[in-house]
Amino acid sequence: MNDLVRNTVEPVGGFQMKGMIMRYNVFTPRLYNWCKSLGFEPGKIIPSRAFCSDESQGYPIILMTKHFGTFPFNHGRAGGIVATDRHAPHAAHGQDILIIQASHVGYDPQTKAFGTYRRTHTTHGECTANCGKIQNVISWYSNEYKFAQQNILLHNDNGEKTITVDNQLLREDRDDGLFLRLEKFIAADADGQRRLLNILSTAKVFAPSRNLVERIGEAPFNGITPKPIGTRLRSDMFYFNRKFPDLVERAHNLEHSMIGYMPQVVTAPSPALTAAQINTQIEFDRTFRTIVKEQGYKGKKVLFISGLNIDISPESDQLFPLTKFVPWAACVQDRDGFYYTLEQQELMQLLEQQSEDNADQIDLEQAIQMMTEVDEIGVET
């Protein structure tokens, strides 16, 4: 077993949504025309996608095929993780290189909620989690957070403010769980010892720290009965630890990357959206260095772009979701090895400058019809 402790992590943030969203049928031709403006040669570009395996990602793949004239290489693992060990094989498939990485999240336009998607092929068109991989990872941390919300109690006992903390949350020798930054909650005596007021069967009662009272106010302590801390338990007040088994084919890679950011995720108004945004940011930061170091990409033009796919459930008369793309960042590398990155605002501005018309796009139906009409070629065994 590998012990993974993520007490502190590099901060992430700045992922903007407003004014940054474009439909995939607009994004894809703009991306193609940007590639041409960079000197990519039509017919020699090998696109690659690092998407989740979800069927909702099929429409973007179809559009990539239509505009780039070839089915994209598969660079992705579940959750939108980039399989960086596939760089060298990808490099051998074309002259000019494009890689698109995108985490994805569902969106219900009726409830305006992120994280769900209507599965039209289920018996009754049920809605399920989207992205399911990310939601599955979040669920354990969300349950730990909910337990802590309900088992940290605030009270005023005969004029004295108190905070009652479940015994499990006080144990610091655990391998797994939510760990409180206790100095933010409990007052200390002059010798640094926690001011213990009472011992209960499953919890202990302390005097709250001055910082806690100043932060959340007097009102939560003034109830007739003890009140759960609830949403006042904020992301900087705790962290998570969890032991993972040794990685098998990097199966836990997404959770390994995300655990340090889980306080930010579980306290967010839309945890699925926040998790997808953070995963996109992590993956771009992690992947771009592997690209510029990859020997297989030397002497090639390379464009790596990362963003978020928003899957809007299809209506009854639609085959595919109305997928939208939110760009995050990009890295451009010339054949001589010079590379540079583009941040979100400048990337969006650059894409908006590109034409939505693509004279090189292929007619998929015609291409498929041509293959059905071609003379039979036997395969000798």
Residue 9's pLDDT is what? Answer: 54
Phi then psi for residue 282, to 5 deg, are: -60, -45
Residue 321's pLDDT is what? Answer: 84
Question: Is residue 288 scored above 70 in pLDDT?
Answer: yes
Which one, of 122, 7, 105, 10, lies nearest residue 56 by Cα?
105
Which long-range CB contacts under 8 A does 347-355 form with residues at least 24 apart?
Answer: 347/305, 348/19, 348/20, 350/34, 351/22, 351/27, 351/30, 351/31, 351/34, 351/327, 352/30, 354/29, 354/30, 354/31, 354/33, 354/34, 354/37, 355/29, 355/30, 355/33
Residue 352's pLDDT is what? Answer: 97
Task: Say which residue, 258 or 316, is predicted with more confidence.
Answer: 258
DSSP state of 143: H
Alpha carbons 177 and 341: distance in angstroms, whole number: 37
Contacts (Cβ under 8 Å, ≥6 apart) of 73: 46, 47, 48, 49, 86, 89, 90, 93
Residue 240's pLDDT is what? Answer: 97
Beta partners for residue 117, in sequence order: 128
Contact 144, 137 (CB under 8 A): no
Alpha carbons 275 and 366: distance in angstroms, whole number: 40
Residue 3's pLDDT is what? Answer: 40
pLDDT band at residue 314 under the 50/70/90 scheme: confident
Residue 1's pLDDT is what? Answer: 35
Share of the chain above pLDDT 70, in %: 95
Q: What is the pLDDT of residues 326-346, one digit of tens each?
A: 999 999 999 999 999 999 999
Question: Is residue 125 scored above 90 in pLDDT?
Answer: no
* pTM (whole model) above 0.85: yes
Alpha carbons 374 and 39: distance in angstroms, whole number: 34
Question: Is residue 22 scored above 80 in pLDDT?
Answer: yes
Alpha carbons 57 and 72: distance in angstroms, whole number: 12
Tokens linked to 155:
């009270």
Residue 206's pLDDT is what? Answer: 97
Q: What is the pLDDT of residues 156-170, one digit of tens each?
A: 988 899 999 999 999
Contacts (Cβ under 8 Å, ≥6 apart) of 309: 24, 51, 57, 60, 102, 103, 104, 105, 323, 324, 325
pLDDT band at residue 105 under the 50/70/90 scheme: very high
Q: Are strands 238-244 and 177-180 parallel, antiparallel or unpaired?
A: antiparallel
Which one, of 256, 251, 273, 253, lies nearest residue 264 by Cα?
273
pLDDT band at residue 307 under the 50/70/90 scheme: very high
Share of the chain above pLDDT 90, in %: 73
Residue 247's pLDDT is what? Answer: 53
Compute the average pLDDT of residues 348-354: 97
Residue 119's pLDDT is what? Answer: 85
Instruction: Report, in angstroms and rounded to the nearest whole number, the Rg of the chain calculated over CA atoms.
Output: 25
Phi then psi for residue 100, to 5 deg, are: -115, 120
Kindly list the structural domains of the chain, giving each domain's residue range(s) and its CATH number in brackets, ordered by start: 34-100+279-307+316-344 (3.40.50), 141-244 (no CATH)
Residue 230's pLDDT is what? Answer: 97
Sign of CA dihedral 283, 286, 288, 290: negative
Range with the poorest average pLDDT among 122-126, 136-140, 155-159, 208-212: 122-126
Give whole-number Cα distances, 325 to 24, 29, 168, 245, in Å: 6, 13, 43, 34
Question: Is residue 45 scored above 70 in pLDDT?
Answer: yes
DSSP state of 268: S
Residue 260's pLDDT is what? Answer: 93
Which long-range CB contacts under 8 A does 170-178 form with residues at least 24 apart?
Answer: 170/204, 174/241, 175/3, 175/241, 175/242, 175/243, 176/241, 176/242, 176/243, 177/144, 177/240, 177/241, 177/242, 178/141, 178/144, 178/145, 178/147, 178/148, 178/238, 178/239, 178/240
Contact 52, 131 (CB under 8 A): yes
Q: Are strands 322-333 and 238-244 parallel, antiparallel or unpaired?
A: unpaired
Residue 356's pLDDT is what? Answer: 97
Alpha carbons 118 and 315: distance in angstroms, whole number: 9
Task: Say which residue, 9 or 202, is predicted with more confidence.
Answer: 202
Q: What is the pLDDT of residues 213-261, one digit of tens each?
A: 999 999 999 988 999 999 999 999 999 999 876 655 454 578 888 999 9
